[in-house]
Structure 1
Amino acid sequence: MTEPTLLPEPVRTWAEKKLGTLGPAPGSSADGPSRGSWRVVRADDNARFVIKIARTPAGYTRETFAYRHAVSALGAGNAPRLLATFPSHLALLLTDLPGLPLPGPRMKPAALRRIHWRSGALVARLHHAGRPTAADHEEATTALSRLADDAGPHLDAAEDRLSTDEQKLVLLLMDRLRILGRLPLGFVHGCLESGLVRGPEAHLSLRDFEESGFAPAVVDFARLACGPWLARPRLRNDFFSGYGRALSTDERLALRALTALHAVRTLAAAGSGPGHRQAAEDARVVLARLDEEVTP
């Protein structure tokens, strides 16, 4: 493999024992290694693969479980395939599934709406995948309370970027989140905004399952609500049309709270660069809209 310093030597040796001589795939993203992911090509036949090193043992466990027990429900070609694992180095060897995150507003509205409908249908398959154990059910029942408790440190970190009224709104929504009853459970992805990928001929797929697991299905929608649905609310309707059902009253309340939490996290983490500034502006728009929707 060329440029071997980009990939830890034990992982490179392991991958080449499995596949043969490898080199960097043409067009690989320059920031791939910073995300722990390398696209490679096999010298013999130009077949493409991904070598991924999880950031944490928990992420490695979640991702390997997803590939072994849930991803097959998506159907052939709708997610990468897991070929091998290297537990001591938290490494996974996957088939490559080229594509880019969901397109933005520059795409024609009709095409964008079709993509979100298809996205909803694909996510529905994932949410119905796998068989949760009794322990999964028990953990899922406390997931929303734990997320509500997580708001405190982020509110503290974003305090200078939030008005008093905004802080009160977030705290109100977190209180409501804690008292919600049991919500529909699903095998959630955890980061749909970046995990949904548009490939050739508008084919949709899912990748990157390190945040996946059984949880209330609604937790998968907050990032979309703060992202593509923010500028084009109609896309939300298209998504749920493809998903096959509307959210219940309690799920809608939960989504408001989770959206607020995501906005606060964004403000807490925002730096000074152009991308961070836009994310912070979007987060403020989210909180303003929630303020209009929620009556204490």
Structure 2
Amino acid sequence: MTNSTTPSPALLAWACRALGARPAVTDVSHPRENSRVWRLDLPGSLCFYLKVSPKAVMYERETLALRSAAPALGAGGAPQLRASSAEDLALLLTAVPGRPLNEQALTPVEEAHAHRQAGALLARLHAAGDLSGPRRIEAEQALQAAGDGAEGHLAQAGDRLTMSEQKLVRELAEQLRLLPPLPIAYIHGDAWDRNLMWSTALQQAGWIDFERSRAATAVQDFVLPACSTWTDRPDLRAACLQGYGRNLTAEEQHALTCLAAIDAVSCLVWGPRFGDPHVTARGRRTLDRLLAGVFA
């Protein structure tokens, strides 16, 4: 979390003007240096979120997603953009009902229900974005771009990987270049349980945090669950894909394996850098599974 527990006076004044009232402010930033998010509570149980994006590209991606694609998810399926300030990289968002799925203790049946809805929402998002012009080119080149980034991750990870692990990652990254064209989509980009809201009262799922949304291959939206939630819960994978409306093709499954290797290296860079043992453990476990040939 940042040292600042409240928005700047100017930013708070901007939010007050947009809301037409002065809210109670609570810092709800993630425990990392560049996270700045506040919950704004108004009388009558009205709740909004004020978010300052860490980078201009993230602000642009989230703003575009919330204006163009996320409305296809329906009421409660995604935040609504109340106001935005390009100068401050700030977004004022409505609240999505419920709490993050990873913070809840649900029955296996409830979890499957949530993941089925999550898959259905991803299917809507994937079909909703504009994939014409430059975005289509971006999507068609997404796998090659992911493969190209592997070497940089390996350099940063250094001796956190063995020589055998480095060799495997390079081989899998190279195989991304050999795949035929895969289905493209407008993806969420950070689709895992931390960003999946679930309301037990409404029995409703919703996605938040669209700052990594972009045009890409559809399978790239399944890397994070494949490396985390799905590892021990094939039933949740089945539920999500059932909601999504189709299974992954053999080529998409192979791409998923290759992308998981790159994600693992990224985790072994990001986790230690930001002191997140859960992310580090995710990367280590993915590499172990890939070396053992049991990643699916």
Question: Quick check: 2:61–2:213 contact (8 Å CA) kept in 1?
Answer: yes
Distance 1:57 1:235 in 2: 34
Residues 156 and 258 (structure 1 numbering): CA distance in 2 closer, same or farther, change over 3 Å?
Answer: same
Equivalence map 1:173-252=2 (5 Å): 173-193=172-192, 194-201=194-201, 202-252=203-253
Q: 2 CA distance for matches of 1:118 and 1:264?
A: 30
209-218 or 93-102: bigger deviation: 93-102
Residue number in structure 2 paired with 1:254: 255
Structure 1 residue 119: deviation in Å?
A: 1.3
Partner of 2:167: 168
Deviates more, 1:116-125 or 1:229-238: 229-238
What is the distance in 2 between the residues matched to 1:274 and 1:6?
24
Classify the secondary structure of the residue corresponding to 2:243: helix
The TM-score normalised by the length of structure 2 is: 0.89
CA distance in 2, matches of 1:135, 1:287: 34
Residues 88-109 of structure 1, C-alpha deviations (whole Å, 9 max, x = no match):
1111111122433223795322
Give, in whole Å, the separation in 2 of the partners of 1:264 and 1:116.
Answer: 26
Q: In structure 1, give the amino acid aligned to 2:108.
A: P
Q: Structure 2, unaligned stretches of length 5 or more?
A: none
The separation in 2 between residues aligned to 1:235 and 1:211, in whole angstroms, is 23
- Seen in structure 2, the aligned counterparts of structure 1 residues 154 and 80 have a Cα distance that, compared at 3 Å, is same
Letter in 2 for 1:199: S
2:12 corresponds to: 12
Q: Give how far 1:273 is off.
A: 9.2
Match of 1:282 in 2: 282
> 5 Å matches for 1:24-43?
24=24, 29=28, 31=30, 35-43=35-43
Aligned to 1:95: 94
**Residue aligned with 1:21, SS:** coil
User: Which residue number corresponds to residue 55 of structure 1?
Assistant: 54
State the secondary structure of the residue aligned to 1:89. coil
Distance 1:146 1:274 in 2: 27
Q: 1:110 Cα shift? A: 2.2
Identity across matched positions, percent: 37
Superposed displacement of residue 75, structure 1: 0.9
Correspondence for 2:291: 291
Aligned-residue Cα RMSD (Å) equals: 2.5
Q: Identify if the C-alpha distance between structure 1 residues 8 and 25 changes in structure 2 by more than 3 Å, giving closer, same or farther.
A: closer
CA distance in 1, matches of 2:34, 2:285: 30
Q: Deviations over 1:59-94 (max 9, x none)?
A: 111111111110111011211111111221111111
Take 1:182 and 1:50, find their aligned partners in 2: how far apart are those partners? 39
Counterpart residue number, 2:134: 135
Structure 1 distance, partners of 2:248, 2:29, is 39
Letter in 2 for 1:116: H
- Looking at structure 2, the residues matched to 205 and 239 of structure 1 have their Cα atoms a distance apart, in angstroms, of 13
- What's the TM-score, normalizing by structure 1? 0.89
Looking at structure 1, the residues matched to 28 and 163 of structure 2 have their Cα atoms a distance apart, in angstroms, of: 42
- Structure 1, unpaired ranges of 5+: none
CA distance in 1, matches of 2:256, 2:177: 13
Q: SS of the counterpart of 1:64?
A: helix
How far 1:222 sits from its partner (Å)?
0.8
After TM superposition, the structure 1 stretch with the greater mean CA deviation from structure 2, 144-153 or 158-167, is 158-167
Aligned equivalents of 1:257 and 1:17: distance in 2? 48
CA contact (8 A) 1:41 1:49 kept: yes
Q: Residues 273 and 73 (structure 1 numbering): CA distance in 2 closer, same or farther, change over 3 Å?
A: closer
Distance 1:225 1:18, change over 3 A: same
Give, in angstroms, the shift of residue 163 of structure 1.
Answer: 1.9
Partner of 1:120: 119
SS in 2 for 1:40: strand
Q: Aligned partners of 1:71, 1:292: CA distance in 2, in Å? A: 38
